[in-house]
Structure 1
Amino acid sequence: MPLAAGNARVKDARRLSRRSVRTERRLFLAEGPNAVAAALARPGCVVELFVTPAAAGRHADLLAAAPDDVEVVLVDDRAAAALSDAVTAPGLVAVCHLLDAGWDDVVAASPRLVAVCADVRDPGNAGTVVRTADAAGADAVVLAGDAVDLHNAKTVRASAGSVFSLPVVVERDPAAAVRRLADAGLTVLATAADGELDLFAADDVLAGGVAWLFGNEASGLPADLAALADHRVSIPLAGHAESLNLATAAAVCLYASARARR
Structure 2
Amino acid sequence: MDPLTAGNTRVKEARKLSRRSVRSERRLFLADGPKAVEGALEAPDRVVEVFATPRAAEEYDALLAGVAVTLVEKRAMAGLSDSVTPAGVVAVCRFIDRPLDALMRTDHAVAQSRSGDHRLLAICADIRDPGNAGTVIRCADAAGAAGVVLAGDSVDAYNPKTVRASVGSLFHLPFAVERDPAAAIRAAQAAGYQVLAADGRGELDLFESDDVLTRPTAWLFGNEAHGLPEGLTGLADGVVSIPILGRAESLNLATAAALCLYASARAMMRA
Letter in 2 for 1:223: E
SS of match in other structure, 1:154: helix
CA distance in 1, matches of 2:220, 2:171: 22
**Is residue 2:85 matched to residue 1:88?**
yes
The Cα shift of 1:60 comes to 0.3
SS of match in other structure, 1:256: helix
The equivalent position to 1:206 in structure 2, one of 197, 201, 213, is 213
**Where in structure 1 do 4 or more consecutive aligned residues deviate above 4 Å?**
none
What do the CA deviations read for 1:101-140 (whole angstroms, capped 9, x no partner)? 1223322224410001100011000000000000000001
TM-score normalised per structure 1 = 0.96
Q: Do the aligned partners of 1:30 and 1:36 also contact (CA within 8 Å) in 2?
A: yes
CA distance in 1, matches of 2:168, 2:46: 13
Q: How does 1:58-73 map to 2 (within 5 A)?
A: 58-66=59-67, 71-73=68-70
CA distance in 2, matches of 1:243, 1:148: 22
Letter in 2 for 1:62: L
The equivalent position to 1:237 in structure 2, one of 244, 249, 264, is 244
CA distance in 1, matches of 2:201, 2:153: 25
Q: CA RMSD in A?
A: 1.0
Letter in 2 for 1:158: A
The Cα shift of 1:49 comes to 0.3
**Is residue 2:183 matched to residue 1:169?**
no
The equivalent position to 1:108 in structure 2, one of 91, 105, 109, is 105
Total equivalences in the alignment:
258
SS of match in other structure, 1:63: coil
Change (3 A) 1:13 1:110: closer
**Is residue 2:259 matched to residue 1:252?**
yes
TM-score normalised per structure 2 = 0.93
Q: Do the aligned partners of 1:29 and 1:93 also contact (CA within 8 Å) in 2?
A: yes
CA distance in 2, matches of 1:100, 1:62: 24
The Cα shift of 1:171 comes to 0.3
SS of match in other structure, 1:190: strand
Q: How does 1:111-150 map to 2 (within 5 A)?
A: 111=108, 112-150=119-157
CA distance in 1, matches of 2:66, 2:249: 48
Letter in 2 for 1:96: C
* Percent of matched pairs sharing the same residue: 64
Change (3 A) 1:65 1:203: farther
What do the CA deviations read for 1:178-210 (whole angstroms, capped 9, x no partner)? 000001110110112121111011111111100
CA distance in 2, matches of 1:259, 1:189: 16
CA distance in 2, matches of 1:229, 1:56: 49
Instruction: Give the stretch that moved more between structures: 109-118 or 248-257.
Output: 109-118
CA distance in 2, matches of 1:34, 1:187: 33
Unaligned runs of 5+ in 1: none
CA distance in 1, matches of 2:97, 2:28: 11
Match of 1:225 in 2: 232
Change (3 A) 1:65 1:104: farther
Q: How does 1:25-104 map to 2 (within 5 A)?
A: 25-66=26-67, 71-104=68-101
Q: How does 1:173-212 map to 2 (within 5 A)?
A: 173-212=180-219
SS of match in other structure, 1:44: helix
Q: Do the aligned partners of 1:133 and 1:140 also contact (CA within 8 Å) in 2?
A: yes
Change (3 A) 1:64 1:110: closer
SS of match in other structure, 1:61: coil
**Is residue 2:167 matched to residue 1:160?**
yes
Q: Do the aligned partners of 1:110 and 1:184 also contact (CA within 8 Å) in 2?
A: no
SS of match in other structure, 2:51: strand
Q: Do the aligned partners of 1:13 and 1:95 also contact (CA within 8 Å) in 2?
A: yes
